[in-house]
């Protein structure tokens, strides 16, 4: 990728990252960052509100945020590993937790959008190529009518000491901001050794999502990461900027060719990945289904017997 130009077009956001940071992000798929003061303050407020939420009895957590759509909305437990709350839309205008969530969503989404623009600028693509994909995702949606189209999410985790883990994976979507308290998050460092080495992450980190990797035709890597157990456990806030599923993607804006339906393209990129945040028995069944599908494809059958 070329260096960032200092000549900005009309309505073009100013650069956020340095050329060296963009090179690191593209090569590794992740980048440690010092957040701006307003975003760091939003992280602190929501972290405190999330701590108070998780300290409640489990019955209260379930009643306040019932799980919906599997792991994609509400409160979810992975027994013996972790619990987490996923916010996809505004459910309670008077909730202090959601007040904090709205602020963090707005600040994190706009921050990540600027990172996407930096990536495009460095690759000499149109920085506005992402506009239709982040549409309606730069603010917390007002109600659940958005669930089928706005896929961005804000997730608060509490990992148990020693046994709180998440297997190696890459995130779906565009970019993810992760800010944690406690050890456990690891990323693949490709500059230290071959094969790549797992290194611990301290502080905020941006991870490239698999959709961004696909759109840019592997000119950037998706950020491979995992969570390993530690004696003190771990808490984290994760904001995932994901695509708005209505409309058409013009692949020419990313150096490719053709027009594709956004939902179909995202479904194809996602494939049959195992959900690392599902309960253990769900993950195991998904892995079996995935292996069965692979065997059926290899043998030339359609999987229906």
Average pLDDT value over all residues in the chain: 87
Model confidence at 136: pLDDT above 80: yes
Instruction: Summarize the confidence of residues 41-49 as an average pLDDT.
Output: 98
Residue 206's nearest CA partner among 165, 254, 174, 181 is: 174
Q: How far apart are the first and last CA of the chain?
A: 48
- Counted residue by residue, the chain has a size of 305
Its pTM stands at: 0.88
| Residue 89 burial (10 A CB sphere; 0-12, 13-18, 19+) | middle
Model confidence at 256: pLDDT above 70: yes
Model confidence at 193: pLDDT above 80: no
The half-sphere exposure of 204 on its side-chain side, counting CA atoms within 13 A, is: 18
Q: What is the pLDDT of residue 12?
A: 74
pLDDT bracket for residue 4 (50, 70, 90) = very low
Q: Are 226 and 198 in contact (CB under 8 A)?
A: yes
Domain positions in the chain are: 19-299
Instruction: Summarize the confidence of residues 241-256 as an average pLDDT.
Output: 96
Instruction: Summarize the confidence of residues 108-129 as an average pLDDT.
Output: 96
φ and ψ at 293, to 5 degrees? -65, -40
Nearest-5° angle of CA 83, CA 115, CA 123?
Answer: 130
Instruction: Summarize the confidence of residues 18-35 as an average pLDDT.
Output: 97
Q: What is the pLDDT of residue 301?
A: 28
Residue 23's nearest CA partner among 9, 8, 2 is: 2
H-type alpha helices, 72-142 = 96-122, 131-134
Residue 196's nearest CA partner among 216, 221, 213 is: 221
Pick the CATH number of 19-299 from 3.30.110.30, 2.60.120.330, 2.20.25.160, 2.160.10.10: 2.60.120.330
Q: What is the pLDDT of residue 285?
A: 54
The half-sphere exposure of 138 on its side-chain side, counting CA atoms within 13 A, is: 11
Nearest-5° angle of CA 189, CA 115, CA 172?
Answer: 65
């Amino acid at each position: 990728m070329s260096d960032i130009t200092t000549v900005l077009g009309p309505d073009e956001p100013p650069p956020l990252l340095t050329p060296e940071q963009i090179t690191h992000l593209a090569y590794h798929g992740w980048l440690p960052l010092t957040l701006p003061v307003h975003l760091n303050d939003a992280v602190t407020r929501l972290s405190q509100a999330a701590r108070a939420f998780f300290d409640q009895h489990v019955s209260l957590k379930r009643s306040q945020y019932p799980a919906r759509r599997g792991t994609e909305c509400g409160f979810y437990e992975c027994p013996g590993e972790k619990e987490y709350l996923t916010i996809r839309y505004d459910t309670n205008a008077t909730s202090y937790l959601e007040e904090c969530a709205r602020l963090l969503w707005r600040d994190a989404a706009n921050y990540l959008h600027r990172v996407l623009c930096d990536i495009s600028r460095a690759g000499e693509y149109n920085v506005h190529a992402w506009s239709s994909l982040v549409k309606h995702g730069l603010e917390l949606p007002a109600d659940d009518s958005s669930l089928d189209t706005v896929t961005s999410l804000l997730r608060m985790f509490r990992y148990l000491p020693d046994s709180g883990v998440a297997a190696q994976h890459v995130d779906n979507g565009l970019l993810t901001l992760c800010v944690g308290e406690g050890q456990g998050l690891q990323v693949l460092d490709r500059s230290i050794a071959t094969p790549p080495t797992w290194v611990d992450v301290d502080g905020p980190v941006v991870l490239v999502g698999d959709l961004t990797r696909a759109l840019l035709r592997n000119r950037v890597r998706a950020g491979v990461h995992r969570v390993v157990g530690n004696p003190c456990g771990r808490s984290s806030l994760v904001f995932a900027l994901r695509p708005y599923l209505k409309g058409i993607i013009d692949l020419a804006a990313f150096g490719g060719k053709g027009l594709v339906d956004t939902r179909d393209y995202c479904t194809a990129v996602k494939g049959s990945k195992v959900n690392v945040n599902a309960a253990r028995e769900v993950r195991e069944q998904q892995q079996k289904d995935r292996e069965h599908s692979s065997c059926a494809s290899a043998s030339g059958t359609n999987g229906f017997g």
